[in-house]
Amino acid sequence: MVVRDGAEMVRQMSPRLCDGVYGFVAATDLAVAEDALGWFREEEGVSVIRPVPAGTPDAMRQITLDVHSALDGVGLTAAVSTALAAVNIPCNMVAALHHDHVFVPEADAPRALQILQQLSAGEDQT
């Protein structure tokens, strides 16, 4: 079931830390993106999310929000990014058709997952 209500999306988000470590990199040729998790064409070129070795500078981990959020739903991204910003964890949000995905620095991933689980449960995130 697609969820549109912001508060309900947060309650149902069921954050899950995914396997793998990723980097956001520039690609001049989409052939480089063969193993990409995703990519986006920007004015400056193509940005690719692709696997990188653990410990790589700027390495990110993916947290998938398992709620089937509506593309026109309002509030999920704001709630997630605000909760993480409050504890000084940067995030990059990627919205796909069925779920939203949060990319956080590799070292911050366990704490970010904990914060998002607490947010979903309505608990204090401190």
For residue 110, give the CATH number of its domain. Answer: 3.30.2130.10
What is d(CA 93, CA 1) in angstroms, rounded to the nearest whole number? Answer: 22
In a domain, 32, yes or no: no
Q: Confidence band (pLDDT; 50, 70, 90) for 113?
A: very high
Higher pLDDT, 91 or 2: 91
45, part of any domain: no
Is the CB of residue 50 less than 8 Å from the CB of residue 36? yes
Q: Indicate yes or no: pTM above 0.85.
A: yes
**Does some domain include residue 87?**
yes
Flag whether 35 is in a domain.
no
Say if 30 falls within a structural domain.
Answer: no
Q: Residues of the chain with pLDDT > 90: what percent?
A: 60
User: 97 lies in a domain?
Assistant: yes
pLDDT value, residue 125:
61
Residue 126 resides in a domain: no
Residue 96 and residue 103: Cα distance in Å, rounded?
13
From the list 107, 114, 80, the residue with the least C-alpha distance to 94 is 80
The DSSP element (H or E) to which 9 belongs, if any, is helix 6-12
Q: Cα Rg for the chain, rounded, in angstroms?
A: 15
| Domain membership of residue 112 as a residue range | 6-20+58-121
Whether 38 maps to a domain, the answer reads no
Q: How many domains does the chain have?
A: 1
What's the pLDDT score for residue 85? Answer: 97
> What pLDDT score does 126 carry?
60
pLDDT digits (tens, 9 = 90+) for 1-45: 888 877 888 888 999 999 999 999 988 776 666 789 998 988 888
Residues constituting the chain: 126
